[in-house]
Copies of this chain bind each other. A is one copy, B any other.
Amino acid sequence: MCVPACHEQIVRSLSRRSFLKSASMVTAAGALAGCTGVNVTESPVSKTINYNRIVDLTHTLREDFPTYFGPSQLKIESLYSAAESGFNLNQWTINEHTGTHMDAPFHFDGSQTADTIPVSKLVGALAVIDIRARATENADAQVTPDDIKAWESVYGPLPAGAIVAMNSGWDAYVMDGTRFRNADDAGVMHFPGFHLEAIDYMMEEKDVVGIMSDTLSLDFGPSPDFAAHFQWLPSNRWGIESVANLSELPVSGATVMVGVPKIAGASGGPSRVLAFAL
């Protein structure tokens, strides 16, 4: 069990050694006296979430939910039914990257698997970057540094530990035939994503713990090289793909909580993502 102040001890310890953003964080955590895991995180000052609305950023996941690779990635099998056994129970066979799901750093070989991301990084202030108008004109639209700077010019600098979401309006197409994948005759998909320069801006100049897209990828559809993935995830920051309902939220002021399953060694997982807002 981890003592309440343990995570902050770890952060301070690592900070002193300039390891704050390094992949050795989890290992260092285990080495600290009294800690066998990072189950509790404590802030030096208290935080407040004011809300009167809870918005579900999660799509309902079905066997025919569209996938990046194309074929179904979920099979639901009934093991018991109330009619026969008195209770209902299913088994899922599921690819970790299906539906509204997390890309843990380990997906692109960061050291943190879904179960070892510090819980303090699963909760954060949300900045919604609205590129719906551009995405309507161009399915290959990307979030750029200028988009983020435009947000900051109105709402101030991205808050510490922020979560940045791209709202391209693509969630509306999720069960609309083939439109969510939007593949052309050559099989190349066309949907919005984060430009590598925006990734660099958030990594080099900001304190952003996670990003979210409302499409099938963090990268835009025609990306030949997963550039955004390869830059972002190995730094032990996370992503969420295929979020829903961002248009229900204010673009500033909401708080997000990411409920990713805590399965050992996971590269991600179908997650429940809720936002608290006024």
Residues of chain A touching chain B, judged by Cβ–Cβ distance below 8 Å, are 1, 4, 37-56, 58-62, 74, 76, 79, 82, 86-97, 99-100, 106-109, 115, 119-120, 122-123, 226, 229, 244-245, 247-248, 257-268, 270-274, 276, 278
Contact = CB atoms under 8 A, between A and B. Distances in A.
Nearest to A93: B93
Contact of A54 (B94, B120, B274): B120
Residue from A37, A97, A109, A262 with most neighbouring chain B CB atoms (10 Å) = A262
Contacts of A276: 49
Contacts of A39: 55-56, 244-245, 248
Contact of A100 (B122, B244, B262): B262
Contact of A115 (B1, B44, B60, B244): B60
A141 B205 CA distance: 55
A89 B267 contact: yes
A88 to B, nearest CB: 4
A46 B56 contact: no
A47 B51 contact: yes
State the oligomeric state as a number of copies.
Answer: 2
Given A39-B248, A274-B119, A263 B61 contact: yes
B58 A50 contact: no
B262 A61 contact: yes
A109 B123 contact: no
27 contacts: A40-B53, A40-B54, A40-B55, A44-B52, A46-B50, A49-B51, A56-B262, A59-B262, A60-B263, A61-B261, A76-B264, A82-B108, A87-B108, A88-B108, A88-B267, A89-B267, A90-B266, A90-B267, A91-B96, A92-B92, A92-B96, A94-B94, A99-B262, A119-B274, A259-B259, A261-B261, A262-B272
A107 B87 contact: yes
B4 A53 contact: yes
A112 B43 CA distance: 37
Nearest to A53: B42
Contact of A257 (B47, B99, B248, B257): B257
